[in-house]
Amino acid sequence: MTVDAAMVTFSCKRQLSVPCTLTYPRGTCGLRPMAAQPGTSRVVGGTDAQAGAWPWIVSIQDPWRAGTGHICGGSLISPRWVLTAAHCFVKARHVNAWRVVIGATHLTQLGPDTQVRNIKRLVVHEDYSSVWERNDIALLELDQPVQCGYHVQLACVPDASLRVSELTNCYVSGWGSTMARAGGPTDVLQEAKVPLINVHLCNSSRWYAGAVHPHNLCAGYPWGGIDTCQGDSGGPLVCQDNNAEYFWLVGVTSWGRGCARAKRPGVYTSTQHFYDWILVQMGLLPAATAPPRPRPVATSTPLQRPPPTPAQAGSFTACPFPRQKLVEFFKLLQELLQVLWGKKAPATA
C-alpha cells in the first residue's frame, strides 16, 4: 500500500510542529482499501487472500527458524503496537531480534508494500496460563511506527459495548498450516469465513466439555473442515460491523484440539474482554486509576447506549485512510448531491 505520507504531511503542516500521531484527527481502523468486495471468497479449508485484503495482519518471525521463520500471526492495533497470543512466546529467546512483517501476502516475496520492524518490548498477560491457555494474549511494541497505506491499516479493538455475538460476517486469516494433520506455514496468506459459535454449545459435553473460558470465543463449523491451525495463532478473527463497512478485531487465534475437526472449532481470545488491559499496557489508561468498565455483554438486555464506532475505539487509531479512497468517496458524494439537487441527470449503467 502506498504510504499515505502526503496526507500525514498535510495534517502536520496545519498542526504546525506538533507530531502527527498525536494530532491527527481520529484516524480510521478496520477498513480494507484493497478489498474488491469484502469477503467474496469464503488456514485449513481457506483460500489465498488477495494482496492487502487483511491490512492489519502481521507475520511474527524468528530469524533463527528455518524458512521465513514465521511463528505466529498478529494484528496491528496502532502504528506501534501489535496484538497477538501469549503462547507464541512460551519458549522464545532473543525476542528483540525477531521480525514483525507488516503489509505482506507472500512471505517469500516481500514486495515494496511490506514494512519490517523489530520488537522493542513484549508484554505477555500477567495471568497467562500455558496449562489452561487462559488469558492467551500479548502485545508487541515495535521499534519504529509503521506507516499506513493501502496494504497497512489498523484493526479496530471493540470495547465492552459491542455485541459481538450478533456479528455474522466473520473471517480468519493466517500463514498457518493448511493441512489439518501436519505441515509448516504457508507462503501465501490464507483466509476463511468462519461463523461464531455459541460458547455454551462450544463448551458442551460433546464439544470442548468446559475447557473454553468465559474470555474465549469459538468460531468455525460444527462439522469441521474449515479452521485455523498451527501457525495461525495470534492472528485475527474479525467480524464486519452489522451497519457499516469496517471490521472489528473480535478475537486472537488461541487454540483448538487439532484443526478442522467436527465439534472442535477454533478457540479465540476475546479482545473485548481485554480492552482495558490493552489500553493500560499501551499507556493510554492509567493502571491504578482505571475505572471499572462495563463487563462484556453477556445477556440479551438491550444496551442503553448506541453501539460503538471505530472513531470511538479511536484511542488506538492514528492511521489515515488512503487519500485516493477519500477523494473517490467525496467525488461520489458530490455527484449524488448534484443529482439530488436536480443539477445533474443520474448516471446510467
Q: Residue 188 and residue 176: Cα distance in Å, rounded?
A: 10
Write b or e for each residue in 80-90: b if 16 or more Cβ atoms lie within 10 A of its Cβ, otherwise e. bbbbbbbbbbe
Q: DSSP characters for 219-235?
A: ES-TT-SSB--TT-TT-
Q: For the beta carbon of residue 19, count every other beta carbon within 10 angstroms.
A: 9
Which of 59, 62, 70, 87 is flagged as catalytic?
A: 87
The reply on whether position 227 binds ligand 4AZ by CB under 6 A is yes
Contact segment (CB under 6 A) with ligand 4AZ among 25-33, 193-201, 230-238, 335-343 equals: 230-238
Q: Strand, helix or coil at 286? A: coil
| Residue with smallest beta-carbon separation from ligand 4AZ | 256
| Shortest spacing between CB 81 and ligand 4AZ, in angstroms | 21
The reply on whether position 228 binds ligand 4AZ by CB under 6 A is yes
Q: What are phi and psi of 188, to 5 degrees?
A: -95, 130
Q: Cell numbers at residue 38, please?
A: 469484502
| Shortest spacing between CB 265 and ligand 4AZ, in angstroms | 7
Question: Does the annotation count 87 as an active-site position?
Answer: yes
Which of 4, 136, 227, 232 is flagged as catalytic?
A: 136
Which of 75, 233, 254, 270 is flagged as catalytic?
A: 233
Residue from the set 153, 230, 269, 271 that interacts with ligand 4AZ by CB under 6 A: 230
Q: Residue 39 and residue 49: Cα distance in Å, rounded?
A: 10
Question: Does the annotation count 136 as an active-site position?
Answer: yes
Q: Residue 139 and residue 314: Cα distance in Å, rounded?
A: 18
Contact code string over 231-270 relative to ligand 4AZ, x by CB under 6 A: -xx-------------------x-xx--x------x----
- Which residues here bind ligand 4AZ, judged by CB under 6 A? 227-230, 232-233, 253, 255-256, 259, 266
Residues labelled as active-site residues: 87, 136, 233
